Amino acid sequence: MGSLVTTVLVVSGLGALLALLLFLVAKKFRVEEDPRIDDVEKMLPGANCGGCGFAGCRGMSEALVKSDDISSLYCPVGGGECMKKIAAYLGKEAAEREPMVAVVRCAGSCENRPKTNRFDGASSCLIASSLYAGDTGCSFGCLGLGDCATKCEFGALSINPATGLPEVDEEKCTACGACVKACPKHIIELRKKAPKGRKVYVSCVNKDKGAVARKACKVACIGCGKCAKVCPFEAITVENNLAYIDFAKCKMCRKCVVECPTGAIVEFGFPPRKVAEVEPQTAKTE
């Protein structure tokens, strides 16, 4: 019995002593931190996605509090509203950016782009692209192994088993850019978000000569330049046999969609065209 009491006394005494020591040390070596960092962190969405360029929301909030000019900092997940709120709290000028959305620039579905071989390595686009050109005739297109979908923290990307291509859920996409970085083929791009999910873009990244590209995929951009000629806003440039629509200049008149001979330029979110108009070659809608 005596030994039990001693044990209890010694252990609790030791506990009390160490607690006191910890208390004193904590007091003495306390790190003064701006309390605003905590507040700003709470205002951020807390997704820790890294879309701002920092490792997580804490890093971003530290940068926001400490830098005088925060116009170069932007949280794509929280968007303009969140940034405005934080700027008002800190008394600084917030950056204003247009909302963006991820866009997959490849339409090489199993039907459009027949397989020429079978990939049997680890299920990762990064590995497949380091090993060879891909399982179709197109060495630029989507490999379909879903690195973008795995990297998406918001569940906005998924591989459609019917086409073998990733699809973006615009509601969930925050334009953090994780998929853009993850894609070894550089197919995914962040483009300006328009109302009603409207989009007009070249859904191809193939830089091969027209004949080679077309042979590999039915809906490849062949770099013919017809779209660039028809565009009234000079939004389209053709470089290395590939057209690109500058979303800052594009007014979504959709003349290029009609003109494109292969259907590489696609439109989404528009009401169906009138019968008098020429049918766009891709009848695909979301």
Partner 1 sequence: MKTFPIGGIHPSDCKKYSKDAAIEQFPIPASVTIPLSQHIGAPAVATVAKGDKVLVGQVIATAGGFVSSNIHSSVSGTVTAVDNRADAQGNLKPAITIAVEGDEWLEGIDRSGVKRVVELSAEEIVAKVKEMGIVGMGGATFPTHVKLSIPNGKKAECLIINAVECEPYLTADYRVMLEKGEQLLLGAQILAKAIGVERIYVGVENNKPDAIKHLQGLAKGQKGVVIVPLKMRYPQGGEKQLIAAVTGREVPSGGLPIDVGAVVQNVGTALAVYEAVMYNKPLIERVVTVTGSTLASPKNLLVRVGTPMSALIEYCGGMEGIGKVVAGGPMMGRAVSNIDAPVTKGTSGVLLIPTEDALRQVEGSCIRCAKCVEACPMGLEPYLLNTLTQRGDYDELEAHYMADCIECGCCTFSCPSYLPLLDWVRIGKAEVMKRIRERAAAKK
CB of residue 277 to partner 1, shortest distance in Å: 39
Contacts of 67 (CB under 8 A, 6+ apart): 73
Residue number, 99 or 121, with CB nearest to partner 1: 121
Any idea what the Cα angle at residue 192 is, between residues 186 and 194, rounded to 5°? 135
Residue number, 37 or 127, with CB nearest to partner 1: 127
Question: What tokens does 207 get?
Answer: 């830089």
CB of residue 92 to partner 1, shortest distance in Å: 33
Asked if residues 108 and 217 have their Cβ atoms less than 8 Å apart, the reply is yes
CB of residue 118 to partner 1, shortest distance in Å: 8
User: Which residues here bind partner 1, judged by CB under 8 A?
Assistant: 116-117, 120-122, 124, 126-127, 130-135, 139, 208
Residue number, 71 or 150, with CB nearest to partner 1: 150
Residue number, 208 or 267, with CB nearest to partner 1: 208
Residue number, 133 or 159, with CB nearest to partner 1: 133
CB of residue 123 to partner 1, shortest distance in Å: 8
Helix (H) or strand (E) holding 237: strand 236-239
Question: What tokens does 248 get?
Answer: 């800052």
Surface-to-core class of residue 85, CB atoms within 10 Å of its CB (0-12 exposed, 13-18 middle, 19+ buried) = middle
CB of residue 126 to partner 1, shortest distance in Å: 6
Can you tell me the distance from the alpha carbon of 51 to that of 104, in angstroms, rounded to the nearest whole number? Answer: 18
